[in-house]
Amino acid sequence: EAGVAQSPRYKIIEKRQSVAFWCNPISGHATLYWYQQILGQGPKLLIQFQNNGVVDDSQLPKDRFSAERLKGVDSTLKIQPAKLEDSAVYLCASSVRDRGRTDTQYFGPGTRLTVL
């Protein structure tokens, strides 16, 4: 079974530029997450999709971040314009909920963003 794919793996941009990240979840996984992980911290949820609908985007800085999930499969996360504090690893994860109502997430390798 193929895992969660993300691209690019690394990106360096200057502040005020825009950037986009792509994620392809595990086939059949209805739930998709984008997390931001700053060095030394745990993953922080930015947005959660169930199929192509948004379940939780309460921590997404909507003035600069946007995300969409095309046809309930692939997803893109965009930052426009980027700030220095956006330097982090952006992780995509997917999951399929089991009957026990638990949610085990499978993560991609992440995209390391550096904003100069």
In the complex, which residues of this chain contact other proteins (CB under 8 A)? Answer: 4, 31, 35, 40-45, 48, 55-56, 91, 93, 97, 100-110, 112
Q: From the CB of 23, what's the least distance to other proteins, in Å?
A: 11
Strand partners, 114: 12
Per the listing, tokens 């999709």 go with 49
Shorter beta-carbon distance to other proteins: residue 17 or 112: 112
- Minimum CB separation from other proteins for residue 110, in Å? 5
R_g (Cα) of the chain, nearest Å: 14
- Closer residue to other proteins, CB minimum distance, 78 or 112: 112
From the list 72, 39, 42, the residue with the least C-alpha distance to 59 is: 42
Do 106 and 21 contact (CB within 8 A), yes or no? no
Q: Could you tell me which of 68, 72, 75 has the C-alpha nearest to residue 24?
A: 75
Nearer to other proteins, 35 or 65 (CB): 35
Output the smallest distance, CB 114 to other proteins, in A: 14
